[in-house]
Amino acid sequence: MGRAKSLDKLPRMELEEAPTRLRSKPTWLISKAAVRAHRLISDAMTAIDGRAYHFAILAALDEFGPDSQVRIGRRCGIDQSDMHTMLKELIAQGYVERTSDPNDRRRNLIISTHSGRRRLKELDSALSAAQGDLLDALSAVERDHLTALLVRVLG
């Protein structure tokens, strides 16, 4: 990540100079937080030559086991054209394999490899650090509360 922490945050002056009506809108604040989160995640992934989509796919495979490309994409909210590209990258890197479904030979399953499970741990660690940077002003209880509120909002 390497950049000074103050550069990763919305400059206090910019936040203070924004009109009160704007600063009081959760949608504006969520948008600003999302931009900051995206930058932190991008920096974290770049530092380890990774992608957030790779994390999502490997996490889905870890939690739910082998599955079809379509179902993994749905679970992760990844468009199928992007999913195809991400799987090609993960296959080329040796993190996943495509195999025939033993219950339906017309269907392929995506499975995580041993290297893929190790890579998931690396990506998870980098993303956890980015989360920590984003939410460093909040206590653990506040982080849990924020997560619960966001789940309800998206709900």
User: What pLDDT, on the 0 to 100 scale, is given for residue 103?
Assistant: 87
**CA distances, 94 to each of 62, 98, 117, 130, 140 (Å):** 15, 11, 11, 25, 36
Residues in the chain: 155
- Going through 72-146 in order, the beta strands assigned E by DSSP cover 96-101, 104-112
Q: What residues are paired with 101 via a beta bridge?
A: 104
Task: Name residues whose C-beta falls within 8 Å of residue 125's C-beta, 6 or more positions apart in sequence.
Answer: none
User: What pLDDT, on the 0 to 100 scale, is given for residue 99?
Assistant: 94
Is-above-0.95 flag for pTM? no
Position of tokens 């704007």?
A: 22
Position of tokens 């799987």?
A: 87
pLDDT by residue for the chain (155 residues), tens digit each? 444 444 445 556 677 788 999 989 999 999 999 999 999 999 999 999 999 999 999 999 999 999 999 999 999 999 999 999 999 999 999 999 999 988 888 889 999 999 999 999 999 999 999 999 999 999 999 999 999 999 999 99
- Going through the chain in order, the beta strands assigned E by DSSP cover 96-101, 104-112
Q: What residues are paired with 67 via a beta bridge?
A: 110
